[in-house]
Amino acid sequence: YLAFGLLSLIWLLVGGGIGLRAWCIAASNLWGLLLSTVLMGYGLVALPLHFWCLASPREQLAKLYYHAVPMDEARVTTQFELQDVIGEARMEMVSRNVQIWDSTIEHAFAVLQQTLEDCELLHSELTNG
């Protein structure tokens, strides 16, 4: 392309019959017309296509199914992670050292116990049981 462009430019400068200024004006007009045709054509096609897809329940359902599978997998994975964390926290609560009788630590364990109960309630609601 570069060689063709250089040869064309040399031909225009040497004496191609029409001046370089006229070729530049024609090239800029051509570029503007091609660009506007491409952009308008995309807009004229894309907008009705978008409305067509919105009006088609089958295509909308296919898109929703496509997005639903990864979202359900992420939900199930998160539920298992929540169940694991609740189990780990329960084990830590059971194995805590009873010889520490600091009131701040006791209050922290009471808050942790309430949080665990709330998490277990949430987990049972999420797993439908």
**Tens digit of each residue's pLDDT (9 = 90 or more) over 68-100:** 999 999 988 988 898 898 888 888 777 776 556
For the chain, the distance separating the N- and C-terminal CA atoms, rounded to the nearest angstrom, is: 69
Give the pLDDT band (50/70/90) at residue 15.
low
Q: Give the residue among 74, 66, 116, 128 at the shortest CA–CA distance from 91.
A: 116
More confident residue, 35 or 17: 35
Q: What is the dihedral of CA 124, 84, 114, 105, to 10 degrees?
A: 180
pLDDT tens per residue across span 60-72 = 999 999 999 999 9
Overall average pLDDT of the 36-60 stretch: 82
Q: What is the pTM of this model?
A: 0.48
